[in-house]
Amino acid sequence: MAITKTDFMRGMQCPKMLWLDKHRPGLRIIPPEVQARLDAGNDFGDRAMGMFGPFEEMTVYRPGTRIPDKKAMLARTAEHLALGTPVICEAAFSSYNNYCAVDILRKTETGHDFYEVKNASQVHEQFIRDAGFQYYIITRSGLKINRIFIVIHGPDESDPFQPVDVTEQAKKYYTWVNENIWNLNRMQKQREEVPADPGPQCEEPYPCWYYDYCHGKLKPAGQIAFDFDENGGETE
């Protein structure tokens, strides 16, 4: 695969972050509190899958791993789209090998809506950019998208899933994604480390897992193998 949603969002925060993901992922240091938030977000996303009732999940893992098998997920998604499955979770789409997996894809009378799930109490701009990337990939793959929602964590714990319509804002990011995705694709493949001085991007919108390395607190141990794993071992 070329650029995934995670790749794009991390690369737009800092190109060096994306390069390190591809070539030196062993330099990552994920603080326990950050890992706890990631785990809580994954749990919230799993619970949200049933917010519209019965659903079909597209996740397929490579044998013996927890790494998604993207080709298998693309094939499974295509099968369920052809069947007209009303709600598809982790629906996979690709355009020129660029890839995304949509949290919730819901069939409508005139097309589909999709829902990006975030374990947060409000919608942040980076969430809308995230949805904009997905809209770009999905539409270029040939599927019509009507509305786009960010599902945030509402105050009612008995029913915490609160969809917020961001259709207009997310669709405006189509051109921005197109202007940047190809440069990030080329950059991630270069052999030389991407230069980047420490700055606000080290903390915003998310703390960088390579903070210690880029601030001189951690040195790579020897030569690390050149690796083109499509997502540095992350799930999407």
Q: Please, which pLDDT band fits residue 217 given cuts at 50, 70 and 90?
A: confident
Domain contains 229: no
- Asked if residue 234 is part of any domain, the answer here is no
CA nearest neighbour of 57 among 37, 27, 32, 87: 87
In 3D space, the residue among 228, 193, 179, 134 whose CA is nearest the CA of residue 15 turns out to be 193
Residue 224 lies in a domain: no
Q: Six-digit token pair at 124?
A: 């942040």
Is 80 exceeded by the pLDDT of residue 216? yes
Answer whether residue 73 is part of any domain: yes
What's the whole-number mean pLDDT along residues 102-127? Answer: 97
Note whether residue 221 is domain-resident. no
Range of the domain at 104: 5-214
For 148-201, how does the pLDDT look when each residue is reduced to its tens digit (9 = 90+)?
999 999 999 999 999 999 999 999 999 999 999 999 999 999 999 999 999 999
| CA dist., res. 64 & res. 199, Å (int) | 39
Say how many domains are in the chain. 1
Residue 43 CA to residue 96 CA, distance in Å, equals 31
Average per-residue pLDDT for the chain: 91
Q: Is residue 18 one of the residues assigned to a domain?
A: yes
Q: Once rounded to an integer, what is the mean pLDDT over residues 70-88? A: 98
Residue 226 domain-assigned? no
CATH number at residue 33: 3.90.320
The answer to the question of residue 233 being in a domain is no
For residue 150, what pLDDT is reported?
A: 98
